[in-house]
């Protein structure tokens, strides 16, 4: 059997160990990026679903438009304008099956074999996978605790010929938890606009902010219509529903709409209607606030435990939101080796950080999840990891 060349990069053994570890119920996992299931609004969704089926069952079980339920698009546009200053109208919103589908479609819409994608260093593993499938070559842009270094972005845009996309995750980045400063957001929009290159602002975590309001989005500074804003209900409501959105200029949106139509015809009509009904009957913002309170507490337990149990040389910065903390180990310590011992001998898992870099090296990092682990288990997990690190450092 002959498989397509575009799959050749794909080495499932790389994530295979992690997935295997996650499926073992004895493993205490700080690896995944899962929301806390005990916070899912199960009863409310039951009530909202009854309303949908009573009121519009014939439509909710039918095919629907590729662009998505107009009521949901209206809701998304309003929330994005209110929360991030993103000036969106319902017709500028396309519903996607998770933001992951938007990343896959971006590969189809923009990339050819050898096209260059500029990204943060490190960046979201799932974006690397999505774009690699369409032949992307990645170039990392230097990044600090305020986001991408704009001078380096501009230098790379100037020097590299075939940059098709710039991909960034500016609010509580997966994996580092970095939250871009407003100045960087503004400068970034100006530079990508001047070079006329498409930029993806991927923001599934922005609303999981432990204090204060959301900063303006990059999209809110986009005067040239090059920024594609991605958001998702996965982390604020339910990842199982697979409902997310993109906001972009009409020319871009229609290309994505065509790709979506060809790929899946439409998103789940029922799940879109359930979210619309939930939003009519309950308070999504209050739900997000509840989630944030729990995650903030878990984050501080994780950080306190790292400081108590990890060797002094391990550096961790408490994130101001999101799901992850990022730990830098001394150079020379390989987190993939640490992972093996942690899983096999101490029954605890995390994600070795090297997987999040487009370029090789950088093996001395760990990504730790705090959303999906109760406080006592978090402390125990970090205690075990501390024991492994003390042995290996």
Residue ranges in contact with ligand PMP by CB under 6 A: 33, 98-100, 124, 126, 169, 174, 202, 204, 232, 234, 239, 244
Q: Are 337 and 352 in contact (CB under 8 A)?
A: no
H or E element, residue 247: strand 244-247
Output 141 or 314, the one with its CB closest to ligand PMP: 141
Sign of the CA dihedral with 173 first, then 175, 177, and 178 last: negative
Nearer to ligand PMP, 79 or 384 (CB): 79
Least spacing, CB of residue 337 vs ligand PMP, in Å: 25
| Between 19 and 50, CB nearer to ligand PMP | 19
Phi, psi of 208 (to 5 degrees): -85, 60
Least Å distance between CB 99 and ligand PMP? Answer: 4
85: left (phi over 0), alpha (psi -120 to 50) or beta: left
Containing 82, the helix (H) or strand (E) segment is helix 70-84
CB closer to ligand PMP out of 126 and 135: 126
Give burial (CB, 10 Å; 0-12/13-18/19+) of 373. Answer: buried
Min dist CB 341 to ligand PMP, Å, is: 26
- Taking CB atoms, the residue at the shortest distance from ligand PMP is 98
Distance from C-alpha of 305 to C-alpha of 383, rounded to nearest angstrom: 7
Instruction: Check if the beta carbon of residue 393 is closer than 8 Å to that of residue 333.
Output: yes
- Distance between CA atoms of 60 and 270, rounded to whole angstroms? 5
Nearer to ligand PMP, 140 or 202 (CB): 202
Q: Is the peptide bond before 80 cis (omega within 30 degrees of 0)?
A: no
Q: Which is nearer to ligand PMP, 103 or 314 (CB)?
A: 103
Closest separation in Å from C-beta 311 to ligand PMP = 28
Looking at beta carbons only, is 173 or 220 nearer to ligand PMP? 173
At residue 322, φ and ψ (nearest 5 deg) are 85, -155
Here the tokens at position 366 are: 């760990």
331 burial (CB, 10 Å; 0-12 / 13-18 / 19+) is exposed
């Amino acid at each position: 059997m002959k498989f397509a060349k575009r799959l050749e990069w794909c080495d499932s053994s790389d994530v295979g160990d992690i997935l295997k570890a996650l499926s073992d119920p004895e493993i205490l996992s700080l690896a995944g990026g899962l929301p806390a299931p005990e916070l899912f609004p199960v009863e409310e969704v039951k009530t909202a679903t009854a309303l949908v089926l009573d009121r519009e069952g014939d439509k909710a079980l039918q095919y629907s438009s590729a662009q998505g339920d107009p009521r949901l698009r209206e809701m998304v546009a309003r929330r994005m304008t209110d929360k991030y200053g993103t000036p969106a109208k319902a017709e500028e919103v396309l519903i996607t099956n998770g933001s992951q589908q938007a990343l896959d479609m971006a590969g189809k819409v923009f990339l050819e074999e050898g096209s260059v994608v500029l990204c943060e260093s490190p960046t979201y593993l799932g974006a690397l996978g999505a774009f690699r499938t369409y032949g992307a070559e990645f170039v990392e842009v230097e990044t600090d605790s305020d986001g991408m270094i704009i001078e380096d972005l501009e230098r790379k845009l100037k020097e590299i010929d075939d940059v098709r996309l710039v991909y960034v995750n500016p609010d509580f980045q997966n994996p580092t938890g970095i939250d871009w400063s407003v100045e960087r957001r503004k400068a970034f929009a100006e530079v990508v606009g001047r070079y006329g290159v498409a930029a993806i602002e991927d923001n599934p975590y922005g609303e999981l902010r432990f204090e204060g309001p959301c900063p303006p989005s990059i999209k809110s500074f986009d005067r040239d219509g090059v920024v594609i804003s991605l958001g998702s209900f996965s982390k604020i409501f339910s990842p199982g529903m697979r409902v997310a959105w993109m906001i972009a200029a009409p020319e871009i949106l229609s290309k994505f709409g065509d790709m979506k139509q060809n790929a899946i015809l439409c998103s789940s009509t029922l799940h879109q209607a359930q979210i619309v009904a939930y939003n009519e009957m309950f308070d999504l913002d209050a739900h997000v606030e509840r989630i944030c309170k729990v995650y903030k507490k878990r984050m501080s337990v994780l950080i306190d435990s790292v400081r108590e149990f990890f060797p002094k040389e391990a550096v961790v910065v408490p994130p101001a939101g999101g799901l992850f903390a990022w730990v830098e180990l001394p150079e020379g310590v390989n987190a993939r080796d640490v992972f093996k011992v942690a899983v096999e001998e101490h029954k605890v898992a995390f994600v070795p950080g090297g997987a999040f870099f487009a370029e090789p090296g950088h093996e001395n990092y760990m990504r730790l999840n705090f959303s999906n682990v109760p406080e006592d288990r978090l402390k125990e997990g970090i205690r075990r990891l501390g024991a492994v690190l003390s042995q290996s450092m």
